[in-house]
Amino acid sequence: MHLAACFIVELNMPYNDYKGTFFAQILTQFEFMSQQHGDCQWQTITHHCQDSYCELFNANEFICFRATYTELEHLNHLLKQADLYDILLNINKSIKGVSEIQHVLWWVNNRHQPDLYEVKQRLSHLTAHSNTQMAFTLGHPFDHINLMDPTL
């Protein structure tokens, strides 16, 4: 089992302006550290502006970071090293260039690479049901689950 992690960063300024902000530097540092860390199994970061994914997430422009990790502790360690952990837990804090940050975590089978539709489904589940084994946040993590369990 691997931990899927997704961070949706809705921008309130054009992407080219956002790239020079402090938060963009932190996210870039986190992306680089994840690439170098042996426990990050897969990752991708994408920028979306006026495409079908923007409609899906009801955002004009956003950045999506998706990755899978072998353990929650490894993700937490990387987030703390990049100074992202406190930002993600304190989502009401004003961040230049960012109007909203959402994150969601869930357990997946090895080698699974979640797409944006799955991310949206997990975020919707999180909104509707709060933290459960199917979708949770850093502040309320869940242990591995049996993905073959038909009751989930």
pLDDT of residue 87: 84
Query: Does any domain span residue 53?
Result: yes
pLDDT of residue 145: 60
Query: Does any domain span residue 51?
Result: yes
pLDDT of residue 103: 94
Range of the domain at 10: 2-129
Question: What is the tally of structural domains in the chain?
Answer: 1
Q: Cα–Cα distance between 40 and 131 in angstroms, integer?
A: 23
Query: Does any domain span residue 139?
Result: no
pLDDT digits 0-9 by tens, 47-89: 999 899 999 999 999 999 999 999 899 999 999 998 888 888 7
Flag residues of the chain having pLDDT under 50: 149-152
pLDDT of residue 92: 59
Query: Does any domain span residue 29?
Result: yes
State the sign of the Cα–Cα–Cα–Cα dihedral 127, 78, 112, 146. negative
Query: Does any domain span residue 15?
Result: yes
pLDDT of residue 85: 86
State the sign of the Cα–Cα–Cα–Cα dihedral 96, 101, 107, 110. negative
Q: Cα–Cα distance between 70 and 89 in angstroms, integer?
A: 21
pLDDT of residue 146: 58
